[in-house]
Amino acid sequence: MLTIGMLGGMSWESSAHYYRLANELVRDRLGGLHSARCVLLSVDFADVEELQRTGDWASAGRLLAAAARQVEAAGAGFLLLCTNTMHKVADEVQPAIGIPLLHLADATADAVIAAGLETVGLLGTAFTMEQDFYRDRLTARGLKVLTPDVDDRRDVHRIIYDELVLGVVREESRARYRSVIASLVASGAQGIILGCTEIELLVGEADSPVPVFPTTRLHVEAAVARALS
Q: How many residues make up the chain in this entry?
A: 229
pLDDT reported for residue 206:
95
What are the helix and strand counts (H, E) for the chain? 10, 7
Same domain, 114 and 210: yes
Bridging pattern class, strands 144-146 and 191-194: unpaired
Contacts of 166 (CB under 8 A, 6+ apart): 11, 13
Q: What angle do CA 12, 43, 35 make, to 5 degrees?
A: 60
CB 118 within 8 Å of CB 143: yes
Same domain, 128 and 194: yes
DSSP conformational letter for 203: -
DSSP conformational letter for 207: G
Same domain, 53 and 93: yes
Q: Is pLDDT of 193 > 90?
A: yes
Using DSSP, state whether 1 is helix, strand or coil. Answer: coil
Is 0.85 topped by the overall pTM?
yes
Same domain, 42 and 74: yes
pLDDT reported for residue 219:
97
Same domain, 122 and 74: no
198-223 pLDDT, tens digit per residue, is 899 999 999 999 999 999 999 999 99
124-143 pLDDT, tens digit per residue, is 999 999 999 999 999 999 99
Average pLDDT of the residues in 47-51: 95
Same domain, 63 and 139: no
Q: Is pLDDT of 14 > 90?
A: no
User: Catalytic pick from 82, 85, 125, 196?
Assistant: 196
Give the bridge partners for 42, in sequence order: 8
Same domain, 52 and 112: no
CB 48 within 8 Å of CB 7: no
Report the chain's mean pLDDT, rounded to a whole number.
96
CB 51 within 8 Å of CB 57: yes
Same domain, 57 and 44: yes
User: Catalytic pick from 83, 85, 147, 197?
Assistant: 83
**CATH code, domain carrying 133:** 3.40.50.1860
Same domain, 136 and 91: no
Q: Is pLDDT of 37 > 90?
A: yes
Alpha-carbon distance 106 to 137, whole Å?
7
Specify whether 125 is catalytic: no
Please give the tally of structural domains in the chain.
Answer: 2
74-124 pLDDT, tens digit per residue, is 999 999 999 999 999 999 999 999 999 999 999 999 999 999 999 999 999
pLDDT reported for residue 88:
94
Same domain, 48 and 79: yes
Range of the domain at 58: 4-103+217-228
Specify whether 196 is catalytic: yes
Q: Is pLDDT of 66 > 90?
A: yes
pLDDT class for 8, splitting at 50, 70, 90?
very high
Same domain, 193 and 152: yes
pLDDT reported for residue 135:
92
pLDDT reported for residue 52:
94
Same domain, 110 and 151: yes
